[in-house]
A and B are shown apart, each in its own frame.
Chain A
C-alpha cells in the first residue's frame, strides 16, 4: 500500500505554462507539506497545511499556490513556469509522536519537473 503518493512522477513542460502536481496520503495524518529539492539535492520546505489550514508559507514566488481540499490531499499549482522551477518536488505528511509532540514526516516518491 502506498502511504504518500504523488502524480505525475515526471512533468516536462514549456516555459510560461501552468501545471499542477497532486499529492495524497492514506496514513491518516493531519499535516501535509511541499518540499523542493534542487539540483544540489538540498531539500527545502515550501508550504505546510494542517487540517486544510496553511501554517507554513516560506519565501516562495506567488506563482506557486497550494490547495488542500481535505486532510488527505495537498495539491500544488504553478503558474507561468520558469526555467528555475525545474527541480524535484516532494510531498510529505506527518503525525504526532508521543508526549514530545514531534512529528515524523513521511515523504512521497517525488515529481520531477523539467521546464524547457
Chain B
C-alpha cells in the first residue's frame, strides 16, 4: 500500500533559522511527488512537483529535492509568513491518479 510519512510533526524556527522538512514514501512506481502549503482555514496551495530522483525545484525561500525514498523541503532564512502546514503527497500509476497525503508538518516561524 502506498504510504507517506512526514517529519517532524511540528517545527518551530526563529526568523532566519534555516531547516528542512522530510517526506519519506513507499509507492510502487512513483509518478510524481507533490508539495503543498496549507494555511489555517484554507485549501492546500500547490508548491512543487518532483518527478524523478535527483530533481530539485526552488521557489523563493523554498527548495524541494527528491531521492528514491524521500523528499526534503528546505527552507532558507524563513520569515513569519512562511508559517503554515506543509503537506507532501505521492501519485502512483495505480489508483486513478489519486494523491496519497502525509499528515503534514506544522511550521511556526517566530520573529
Q: A residues touching B (Cβ–Cβ < 8 Å)?
A: 4, 31, 33, 40-45, 48, 50, 55-56, 58, 90, 94, 97, 100-110
Contacts and interface: CB of A to CB of B under 8 A. Distances in A.
Which bracket fits the contact residues of B?
A: 20 to 34
Interface of B: 31-32, 34, 36, 41-46, 49, 51, 85, 87, 89, 91, 95-101, 103-104
B101 A44 contact: yes
Nearest to B43: A107
Contacts of A97: 49
Contacts of A40: 103
Given A90-B43, A102-B31, A104-B49, A45 B99 contact: yes
A47 to B, nearest CB: 10
Contact of B85 (A41, A44, A45, A104): A41
B101 A102 contact: no
B22 to A, nearest CB: 17
Among B51, B99, B104, max chain A CB count under 10 A is at: B99
Given A56-B98, A102-B91, 20 more contacts: A43-B87, A43-B89, A43-B101, A44-B101, A45-B98, A48-B96, A48-B98, A50-B96, A55-B96, A55-B97, A56-B96, A58-B98, A90-B43, A90-B44, A100-B31, A100-B51, A101-B31, A102-B51, A104-B49, A110-B41
Contacts of A55: 96-97
B6 to A, nearest CB: 11
Contacts of A90: 43-44
B46 A104 contact: yes
A9 B97 CA distance: 26
